[in-house]
Amino acid sequence: MISLLRITAENYEDHLERIVEIETLSFSSPWSRAGFIREVKNPLSTIWAASIDGSLLGFICYWVLDFEIHLLDLAVHPKERRKGVGRFLLGHMIKEAVSKALESIWLEVRVSNEGAVKLYQELGFEQAGIRFKYYDDTGEDALVMRLGFSGSLPVLNCSNVGGRF
């Protein structure tokens, strides 16, 4: 069964190598070790990892601000994709936002990342804008997406994430 592990200043050294491996396999311009260490030490930042039997499958990193969350990074090992790990991690972040009565979650995603865009839309995120030439490595645009919580809340079934979980 999948479990969540909070990555903190106390335990990040045990998991940093696997997190950087997943990041490097997932992105053309991955974060560095130093970038992850900065986030672990940043009081605004929250990092969770999904694992089975102690093996990390993916992670999520986001800032919790006064009235919102800003999703910074979400990556799942290529061998574990399309099995619900990303949905599981996003569901946990959304539950945190709801429990803290936050107003919204914001993120940027590459226009070409159709799988991620579809997942975000399935969870209720809507396009809020475009950041032109946002990604330095390719000059690609980013979609700005938002999940708002004023009015009706999204209906999530995070316990049913599919795959082997």
Residue 156 placed within a domain: no
pLDDT band (50, 70, 90) for residue 130: very high
pLDDT of residue 151: 53
73-88 pLDDT, tens per residue?
A: 999 999 999 999 999 9
Q: Are the beta carbons of 162 and 142 closer than 8 angstroms? A: no
The one catalytic residue in 108, 134, 135, 140 is: 108
Which residue range forms the structural domain that includes residue 91? 3-148
Is the residue at 64 inside a domain?
yes
Which whole number is the average pLDDT over 121-126? 96
Q: Going by C-beta distance under 8 Å and a sequence separation of 6 or more, which residues neighbour residue 96?
A: 46, 64, 69
Predicted TM-score (pTM) of this structure: 0.90
154 within some domain: no
Q: How many domains does the chain have?
A: 1
**5 with 15: CB under 8 angstroms?**
yes
Active-site annotation holder among 23, 39, 68, 120: 120
Q: What is the pLDDT of residues 85-100, one digit of tens each?
A: 999 999 999 999 999 9
At 1, the pLDDT band (50, 70, 90 cuts) reads: confident
- Residue 153 maps to a domain: no
Please say if 126 is a catalytic residue: no
The residues pairing with 68 across neighbouring beta strands, listed in sequence order, are 104
Structure-block tokens of residue 19: 């997190």
Strand 45-52 and strand 3-7: pairing?
Answer: antiparallel
Q: Is residue 135 part of a domain?
A: yes
Question: Is 120 annotated as catalytic?
Answer: yes
Q: Tell me, yes or no, whether 98 lies in a domain.
A: yes
| CATH at 51 | 3.40.630.30
Is residue 162, in this structure, part of any structural domain at all? no
